[in-house]
Amino acid sequence: MATGAAVVGTAVAADSTDSRWSEPRQVNGHHPFRSGGPVETWPERADAIRERIQIGSGLWPLPERTPLNAVIHGKVEMDGYTVEKVRFESFPGHYVTGNLYRPTGPPPRGGSGHPLVLSPHGHWSNGRFHDAGIGRARRDIAIGAERFVNAALNAQQARAVQLARMGCLVLHYDMPGYADSIQFPSHRDGPREGLDGREPGSWGLEGFSAAAWLQSRFGLQTWNSVRALDFMLELEGGDPDRVLVTGGSGGATQTMILAAIDERVTALFPAVMVSTDMQGGCTCENTFFLRIEQGNIDIAAAAAPRPQGLTAADDWTRELRTSGYPDLRGLYDGLDAGGSFEAHFDTHFGHNFNHVSRTHLYGFVSRHFGLGLEEPVLEEDFELLTADQLTVWSANGHQADHARPAGDEVGEPHERELCRWWMEDARRQLEPLLEPAGAAEAEEADRLIGGAWRRIIDRALPAADDLEFELTAKSEHDHVIHMSGVLQLKPHGEQVPLTIHHPQPWNGRVVVLTSPDGAAALTEPETEAAVAGWLADGAAVVVPELFATASALPEEQTDLNPMAGAQYPGNTERPEDRWRLSPVYYYGYNHSRFSQRVHDLLTVTAFVRTHPEWEVEHVTLVGLPGAGHWCAAARVVAGADIDHAMIDPAGFSFAGVESFEHADFLPGAVKYGDLPALLALSAPHPLTLMGEHQELLDRLTKFFTARAAAEALRHQDGLAP
């Protein structure tokens, strides 16, 4: 048997230094790069980052690519380019709006057509309709941030114009709640009582059901970007091998996110966002699981070795040169792609995508798209178009074909309908996989649904060298050695108090008995009788006290996660600040209490399997009422390392928990099949369902039969050895 879980005699207080009692991680703080190992393993690490983004965004699997129903109109002839008005549907009935800038000349050298550029904007007021004001424009010219008044008034329009003059097709598109994206009256919002129902069509973004189905403003914006890329690739005359995404601030967040999940993007240039510091404050920049064990440096790195350029300023990116940049430089160099990565540290300017930064961008585009332009590529002045000239909607009801959305197409009715369609699309794709017709469908369920659960839980069985058991008490009675102590998972600073009953002689079998009450459950008559039976048969019994359960907290607090509320710093009392209450700010940076308890079970399983003095032949994981759902999830992750699972579901469902502040709340659990899916994914490994659950048993039988493991599914009325 493998060695490494050392038994030492120093006593410690249970949970006294468990890292999970510390303050939760949040937007601010230090978010270092995590390479995941040597550069040869980077593709695997990049896949993990990509999957985490897609799952947390509600895009695993991707929604159906419904018809775009694109409308392009209102062409305006300009100096060297044209500007058109664009709208298309990312979801049925939900419009993405923007302007399309086309060069009037032939495609530039270096490819099969015009390079394609997606230009998401950041949080500058009014988005693509931004007007900095003449006073600010003059100040920017005076300090060398801009060269021309028009560019200083609207730097985003200046960027689109220059890229079009360089021969690119450019889509400058709106974030929800900005400019022409009027179906969402505000760009960001928080939980709202009128949008927090449990039935389809009764909820909007930010509440319980949205989180249960992994729906968020971040996910909506990201899907808008994916569909924007679909739109651009359908344009005549574009070059699909030269596709750039570039934006600043919140637009840079979308830039690196889209590049991470969509390999059709061939180059990216995120400005003033990639940093180990503040990760992006808006709800459009945060979603579930997004920055657990990763941050913006990791997300930007997921695009490697594709060409990437960064800029830094006197903001949260000011330390990029020494924190983050060396990691990205090392990765690109290690992938033999050092020439494809660059960063510019113009930290004498404040937060910006100004002329200096844009000039870096234009040189980057010319070099990596083979345009052959002499550097520095400098902007020329242009005619600034106003919001009235750029808007895709007709004014005062004129041009009925371009009338502004109204009625149920905007506001809360629209938000409810979008969430309903998004949910039903996921259900159409996922539910059939849990009633598979055969082995192929069952394998796909394990890949897609099981893969999501494993990524959400985000913990494999620890290595033996990462474990240490600190024995605090030991006695022997009636040929049974009784031990207690604390199991340490050293890399994570986590602790699991254990009670161990080891019979003499021992038959090589271990039962891990799990209850919300920990060792106190052994006083229940049925449990006491079962444990006595196991010990009489020669099996050892290990009883963990899982994190934040009855052994560590007053009973009335074990069903709560008080940390899951407001995690974005600042006032939450004013209605306009309620977005700070969004659950993405806790669950985007921290594991749920549910996952933390599953982690403990995986730690205990690894301890049992790798104990230096035990020759373990068989491990049974038992989930008593109230613990069955934790055990079901641990089994999905551990697989055959848990030989047999005995689980009493006790009527639990993730859909039935009270709120996203409940200790058993887990984002996405309802989407990915709730507890029945976890139990089904035990197949083909043996599973005993305890209690009266005939309907559930019938469902599980179908799945186990499809995995050619019908005999592995068993049923018994209650707990028995």
CATH architecture of 6-24+450-716: 3-Layer(aba) Sandwich (3.40)
Short-list 361, 650, 615, CA closest to 507: 615
Residue range 186-203: mean pLDDT, rounded: 93
**pLDDT, tens only, 344-380:** 999 999 999 999 999 999 999 999 999 999 999 999 9
Least confident range of 306-315, 630-639, 708-717 = 708-717
Give the pLDDT score at 8.
29
Largest CA distance in the chain: 94
Give the pLDDT score at 425.
98
Residues 465 and 489 sit within 8 Å (Cβ to Cβ) = no
What are the Cα distances from residue 664, in Å, to 14, 592, 630? 22, 8, 9
Give the pLDDT score at 554.
74
What are the Cα distances from residue 640, in Å, to 461, 490, 620, 687, 689? 12, 24, 11, 11, 17
Q: Is the pLDDT assigned to residue 154 strictly greater than 80?
A: yes
In the chain, where the domains are located? 6-24+450-716, 41-425
CA quadruple 256, 258, 259, 261: dihedral positive or negative? positive
Give the pLDDT score at 553.
75
Q: Residue 672 — left, alpha, or beta (φ > 0 → left; ψ -120 to 50 → alpha)? A: alpha
Domain 41-425 grouped into CATH 3.40.50.1820: yes
Which residues is 482 bridged to in the sheet? 475, 501
Three-state SS for 116?
strand
Give the pLDDT score at 557.
73
For the chain, how far is it from start to end, CA to CA, in angstroms? 26
Give the pLDDT score at 199.
96
Q: Is the pLDDT assigned to residue 3 strictly greater than 50?
A: no
The percent of residues above 90 in pLDDT, for the chain, comes to: 88
Three-state SS for 125?
coil
Same fold, 6-24+450-716 and 41-425: yes
Please give the single-letter amino acid code of residue 662.
Answer: H
What are the Cα distances from residue 31, in Å, to 261, 292, 633, 661? 20, 10, 28, 25
Give the pLDDT score at 6.
32
Q: Is the pLDDT assigned to residue 423 strictly greater than 70?
A: yes
Contacts of 177 (CB under 8 A, 6+ apart): 184, 185, 186, 187, 188
Residue range 116-142: mean pLDDT, rounded: 96
**pLDDT, tens only, 292-312:** 999 999 999 999 999 999 999
Residue range 428-445: mean pLDDT, rounded: 93
Strands lying side by side in the sheet with 467-477: 6-8, 467-477, 480-489, 494-503, 540-544, 509-514, 618-623, 644-647, 687-690, 713-716
Residue range 81-101: mean pLDDT, rounded: 98
Give the pLDDT score at 195.
94
Least confident range of 1-5, 100-104, 204-208 = 1-5
Q: Is the pLDDT assigned to residue 256 strictly greater than 60?
A: yes
Short-list 357, 363, 297, 358, CA closest to 326: 297
Alpha helices, DSSP H only, in 431-521? 439-445, 451-457
Give the pLDDT score at 7.
27
Whole-number average pLDDT of the chain: 94
Least confident range of 168-177, 549-558, 581-590 = 549-558
Token duo for residue 614: 């035990």
Residue 400's pLDDT band, with cuts at 50, 70 and 90, is: low
Give the pLDDT score at 119.
97
Q: Is the pLDDT assigned to residue 561 strictly greater than 90?
A: no
Q: Is the pLDDT assigned to residue 2 strictly greater than 90?
A: no
Residues 506 and 645 sit within 8 Å (Cβ to Cβ) = no
Number of neighbours of residue 193 by Cβ within 10 angstroms:
7
Residue range 661-677: mean pLDDT, rounded: 96
Residue range 661-669: mean pLDDT, rounded: 95
Give the pLDDT score at 5.
35
**pLDDT, tens only, 219-241:** 999 999 999 999 999 999 999 99
**Residue 525: alpha-carbon gap to chain centroid:** 44
Give the pLDDT score at 1.
27
**pLDDT, tens only, 8-41:** 223 333 456 899 999 899 999 999 999 888 999 9
Give the pLDDT score at 677.
97
Least confident range of 416-425, 497-506, 573-582 = 573-582
Q: Is the pLDDT assigned to residue 268 strictly greater than 50?
A: yes
Contacts of 237 (CB under 8 A, 6+ apart): 107, 113, 114, 169
Residue range 571-588: mean pLDDT, rounded: 90
Residue range 166-189: mean pLDDT, rounded: 96
Residue range 62-81: mean pLDDT, rounded: 98
Q: Is the pLDDT assigned to residue 486 strictly greater than 70?
A: yes
CA distance 683 to 705: 9
Residue range 280-298: mean pLDDT, rounded: 96
- For every residue of 29-72, DSSP letters joined together read S-------SSGGGHHHHHHHHHHHHHHHTT-SSPPP------EE
Q: Is the pLDDT assigned to residue 455 strictly greater than 60?
A: yes
Give the pLDDT score at 667.
97
Three-state SS for 454?
helix
Residue range 708-721: mean pLDDT, rounded: 90
Token duo for residue 679: 């139990």
Indicate the burial class of 139 (C-beta count within 10 angstroms; 0-12, 13-18, 19 or more).
middle
**pLDDT, tens only, 531-547:** 999 999 999 999 999 99
